[in-house]
Every structure is written in structure tokens, then in C-alpha cells.
Amino acid sequence: MLAQPPLWLTLVAFVCALGPLVFFHELGHYLVARWFGVGAETFSIGFGREILGWTDKRGTRWKVGWLPLGGYVKFVGDMNPASVQSASDVPEELRAASFQMKPLWQRFLIVLAGPMANFLLAILIFAALFSVVGTPISNFVGQITKGSAAETAGLRPGDRILSVAGRTTPAYADIYATVSMRPGQTVDLVYLRGDSTRQARVKLGVEVMKDGSNRLTRGKLGVGPSIGHRERVGPAKAVVMATQTTARMVRSSVDALVQLVTGRLSPKNLGGPMKIAQVAGEGASYGLVAFVGFLAFLSINLGFINLLPVPMLDGGHLFFYAIEAVRRRPVSEQALEWAFRGGLAAILALLLFTTANDLGSFGLWERLGRLIG
């Protein structure tokens, strides 16, 4: 195991990871909006005071803020975070380029383009890795832990795990992701032994890990991957495989959300910006390939989170556009204002909660407890 990376590397890796992903996300919004003739007043990476910027010939101010925790595009006609403005408030000379004056389907696609850009970026990263580095063939069982759920299920080295809990597992990462979110649950297992497809129903083990003062639980099957070879593939096949990999990771994110909502997965497993920075630093410590792979994973999560139907996020906008399509008239400005205030409060509360988790994983609460005691 590598030592904890130095603070400077963690900070640099965090900025180098989040900055490009936010830029690509906002670029998706910007390009589709430009395609539909919407003008952009500001394109910002980061929040707060501008530390670098320029204005292009279309009048868009491109800038970098000092706080690298997000970004935004301010379109012509946007008056607040809810992108609300009545038609009467838009000057006549700006109506043709105003976001709010565009048809509903165009506004919907402009908002959707941000998360889709993140998924596209992940596909491009995976496709490049599969073509240049190769893709591991790793759903073969290499080792069996004695007394584990895998041994109870009758698995042997050389078996190929096809699915766990109804989720296909073409790679070891898929096996790990599915199992880790189901501590102590009984799941169906489908595996291949030679030419014979077999099934087993097994109760997964529970592994308790200490992350600072936090105690996290994850499911454990008790298998290790077979160290196989990497197969380089052509560009066309790489894109197909990358798309499938991205789709499986999105499905894993949905699965994790369901496990959290149903209480089967502890909310202590949630991490915030500090944990992202820590993992980015660790990825950078392992080398360029690991760091680039982390970028793809983070891009998928950024796209997925933004699609959640929470006001202030892209998914919240899409939700209200769907209501508008059904009602054939927009939701009232007052309702939108209260909804987005609630969404902002929810996001801030989640940020505080995940930050507390992060600080706990770094051992802060444990050290404070010893000082107070």
C-alpha cells in the first residue's frame, strides 16, 4: 500500500480532476445552447472572485473563480439559479437569444446536455484506455478465502462469475461494486465452470472497516480476481465496451442510491469534497493511468448526481420542464422560488453531512474525543 500522498499532490490532483470535469459539463450546456441560438453572458469555472478571464467576440465572459468547487454558464435571460424570468422582463432586442424564450424541448436539451457531456467524457476516457492500455479480463475467480461466502457457495478458482444479485459482472470491479453494497444480504450468484452455467444462493459476509473514527461496513464474497492478461481492442470495439462500462457504472450508482434510501447501506459511506480530494491524490500517486481512470469514474458520478430531481441541480430543472410539458404551462415563479430555496438548503445540508463524514474519516472527531475526555 502506498503512503498517504502529500498535501500538495492531493490539492493539485483535486483541482486537475474537478476543473476539467466541470468545464466539460458546462461546455455541454454551452454548445447545445449555442446550437439553438442562445447567447451566453458568462462561462465560469469555479465560484467567487475572478482570478483569470477574458471576453470573446460574442460577448461571453470566460473566467476562472478562486473556489474550484463547480461552475456555471449564465445565459441571456437567466435572472436567478432557477433560470426564471417572465417574457415581459426580457428586453425586445435580447429575446431572440434568450434562454427563456426558446421552446420547451430546446431548454430541456440544453439542460440535459451537461450530464450527458460527463457520460460522453467517461466513454472517451475508457475507450482510450481500452485501446492504448488494454482491458482486463477479470471476472474469473483467482483465490477463495477460507470460510467465506464464496467457499460456502461452492465456488472454485477458475470459475467465471457472470452475475451477482441479478447484476451482470463482466469485470471484477462490477463484482466488487455489487457485493460491497450488500453486506449480510442473501443474493443469487450465477457462474460458469467450464461449459456449465451454475447457480447458487449465498449470504454475503460483512466486513467492517475503520475509516478514521467512522466504522464502515461492506459486503464480502471472499474471492480474489484471477491475474489475467490485458487485451487491447480497436477503436470501434473500444467505444462499444466503454459505453457498456459507463452504463454499468451508472447502474451501480443507481444501485447505491437505492441501498442508501432503503437503509441497507450506511450514510457514513458518503464522502464529500475532502474525500474526493483524498482519492484523487491517491489515484495520482498510483500513476497516470489510475488517475485518468478515476477521472472517468468521477465524471460518471458528476453526471449522475446532476440528473437527480433536486432543485438547483440539472435534474431539478428537467423535472419542472416535464411538469410544464404535462400541464402545458410553466410552474409558477413563486413555487419555483420556494422549491429552489429548499433544494439549496438540502444541498448545503448534504455538504455539511459529507464534510463531517470526511473529517471523521481523517480521525478529527476521534482526536477531539480524546482531548475532551
* Sign of the four-CA dihedral 64, 67, 70, 76: negative
The answer to whether the CB of 306 falls within 8 A of the CB of 114 is yes
Rounded to whole angstroms, what are the CA distances from 107 to 29, 77, 315, 317?
10, 12, 13, 9
- Collapsed DSSP state (helix, strand, coil) of residue 163: strand
Distances (CA, A) of 267 to 78, 249, 276, 277, 337: 35, 20, 16, 19, 29
> Is residue 366 flagged as an active site residue?
no
CB 150 within 8 A of CB 222: yes
Residue 12 to residues 22, 283, 372, Cα–Cα distance (Å):
15, 12, 34
215, β-bridge pairs = 210
Round to whole Å and give the CA distance between 335 and 82: 11
Dihedral angle computed from the Cα positions of residues 208, 282, 261 and 188, in that order, rounded to the nearest 10 degrees: -60
Rounded to the nearest 5°, which phi and psi values hold at 211? -120, 90
For 112, phi and psi rounded to 5 degrees? -65, -25
Catalytic residue among 26, 41, 231, 333: 26
**Which residues lie closer than 8 Å to 356 by C-beta, 6 or more apart?**
none
In one-letter notation, the amino acid at residue 2 is L
Range list of H helices, 45-161: 104-132, 149-153
Active-site residue set: 26
